[in-house]
Structure 1
Amino acid sequence: MNSLIRLGLRIASLPILDVKKRYPLMRKVQEAISKEEVELALEKTDYILFDDYLLSDDQEYHVPIRIFSPTKNVHLGIIIFFHGGGYVTGNVDTYTKTCLELAEVSRHIIFSVDYRLAPENPYPAAVNDCYTVAWEIANYFRNEFPKNLPNEFSKKTPIYLMGDSAGGNLAAVVSQLLTEQMDFQVDGQILLYPAVGNDYSDEFVESGIFPSLKEKGFDFGLTLQNLRDYYDLYLPDPKLLKTDSKVSPLLNHDFRGLPPTLLITAEHDLLRDEGMFYAQKLKDAGVKIESYIMPDVPHGFLTRSILFPEAHKKLSKSINDFLHVTEIINPEEIFEQEGLGEI
C-alpha cells in the first residue's frame, strides 16, 4: 500500500475521531464534499438522473430514491443499491459519484436508496426502508408489470441487491427477508465488505475466531471502536446484535434459497474474516457464490476509486462477470413513458 495512503489511514484511526460525538460533523463534511460531486453529475448529458420516492411499509414515511441510468447501451437489469456509513452517515448525495461509476461500469439502471439514519431513526428503520424499496420495485416488475414499458422489459427483468459495509449488511438482510417470506426472489446480491458479524466484544476479538478484527481493527481507517460506536447508535438494545438475524446475518439459521451472491472483502479491513465466513456459510447451504479478498485495500475502497484504481478495475470486471449482461435498451423510452422528470 502507498505510504501516504497508509499514513492517512493511521490518522483517520486516531481516537480523537469519536463517532458518537462527531457524527453530526462527519455528516456535514460528507455533504460539503458531495455537493460539488452532485453538481458535476447533473452536468452529465450521457446519463438520466432524477429523484423519486416510495411510501414506507407503515405508510408514514416516504423513502427517497435516486435513479441513475446511462442514456445509451444500457443492459437490461436493475441494481438496488444500499449505501454504507455505519447506519449513521451517508446518503444518496454522498454516493452519487459512486453510483454514477457503477452505472457506467455495469450499464444497469441504479436505484440508490436514501434510507433513514440512526440515531434519529434506530433499527429497524433502515431495514424497513430498504425492504420497502426492494419489495416495491420487485412487485412492480414481477406482478404489476406495466404494459407501457418497452418490449425489451419483462417480468424476467433481472433485479439485483447491492451494498457496501452497512449497506452490504442491509442487502444481505433484505435478501434473507425476501427469501424467508417467499415474496420475491431477486436475481442476485453483491455484497462489498459487508458487516455481518454478531460479536465485537474484547473477549471475542481475543478469541481469534476472526483474526482480522484484531489485526486490522486499530489503524486502517475503520477501527474496532468505530464499529462498536456505530452499533451503539444504530441499535435501541445492544442485545439485538447477538440475537437478531436482521441485525447480524450470520445468525440466520437457514441460508438455503438465497440468491446467487458476489461477496468481496478487503485485505486491510477488520470485517474481512466475518465476510468470508458468511460466504462459506452460503456455499455450504448450496448458494451459488463467488467470493474473494481484494488485495492491498482498506474498508471503503468502493468510494475511493482515485486512490485504488487497480482494485476498481478488478471490481468492475467481477461485477460485470457476475451480472452476465447481454441485452441493451434505450432507457429514455422508459422515463418518457412513465412521466418521470430529472432532478
Structure 2
Amino acid sequence: MTETKQQTIKNSDVRFSVAPMMDWTDRHCRSFHRLLTRRARLYTEMLTTGAVIHGDRVRLMSFDPFEQPVAFQLGGSDPAELARAAKIVEDFGYCEVNLNVGCPSDRVQNGAFGACLMLRPALVADCVKAMKDAVALPVTVKCRIGVDDQEPEAALFTMAQHCVDAGVDALVVHARKAWLKGLSPKENRDVPPLDYALVHKLKRAFPQTLISINGGLTRLPEMHEQLETMDGVMIGRAAYHDPGLLLSVDPEFFHEEAPYPDIFAAVDAYAPYIERELGKGEKLSNMTRHMLGLFNGLPGARAFRRRLALEAVGPGAGVEVLEAAVAEVKSAVARMREAAA
C-alpha cells in the first residue's frame, strides 16, 4: 500500500468523542447521539477479531451512514488476525479502527487482550503496524496508564513510544490504572484514582502525536480545561446517562450551531428512525433504553423513565409510548413555569 493512500486523522477529528462502551454504544445509541451532535466522533462497542472474521458481520457491524463519523473498536492481540479484521472494518466503511488496550474484563483477560496488552508494548506495536500495513484507515489505540503494579509513567510512556514508532495515528488514554485482579470492570471505572497530570505530561513529551484524554469527565468546563493541554476529550458514561449534554457539543467545541434547538426537537427527529426500525421487527425498548437519562434534572424525568421502562418492553409497543413519556416531561415543565409565573 502506498503512502498516498493512507488516510490522515486531524485535530478536529479527535477534539470530542464518545467512548466505545460494551452493551451501550450500539447502532441505536449512536444514531440517537448523532442527532444531538454532528461533529463528535462516535465509537462502536468493542468486537473481537474472532467475531469480525467469523461472526455474522451484517448483524454485528452494519451501521447507518447517518452515524458517520463512526470509528470501530477491535479487541485482539494477534497481529495477523487484527490486520484481517481491520480490512473488513475498512470495507464496511468505518472512518477509523481503534485497538482496545484498556478493557479489564474477565473476557479480555481470558483472551489475553484489552488491558492485558499494557504489559506487552512490543506486541501492541506489532499489532498497530500490521493494521497500518493492511488498511488506509487511521489506526488508533485506546489504553490505560498502566495495570496492576506497573509504575504508571514508565508503563504509559513505553506504550506510547512503541505505538508512535509503529505509526499509530492517535492515542486515547483513560487516565486510570486497570486492576486485572481484585476489581470488577465497573470498579475499574471508578476506584483507581485519576491521574490527568500524567496524561498531560505524555502530551508534552509527544507533541506531534494526537492524544485524547478519557476518564471522569462529566462537565463542560472540565472538558474545556482539558483541551488547554490535550488534543481531544473522550467521554463515556456522562454522554450515556445524560445524553442531553451532547446537544452542547457542536456550539461549545466546534463553534457551530446545535443540530436542534432543544432536546424535545431532537426526540421528535428520532421518531422516524424508531418507526423505520420497528418496521424491521426491532423492539422499541432496544432503542428507548438509550434515552432513559435524557431529561435528567427536569421535572417529569422520573415519570419519563418509569413509563419507558414499563411500557416500551411490551409486545407491539410503538413510538406512541415514547411520545406519551415525553408528554410527561412537557406537562411537568409547563406546570413548573406556571407556578413560577
Larger radius of gyration: 2
TM-score, length-normalised on structure 2? Answer: 0.29
Structure with higher RCO (Cα < 8 A, 6+ apart) = 1
TM-score, length-normalised on structure 1? Answer: 0.29
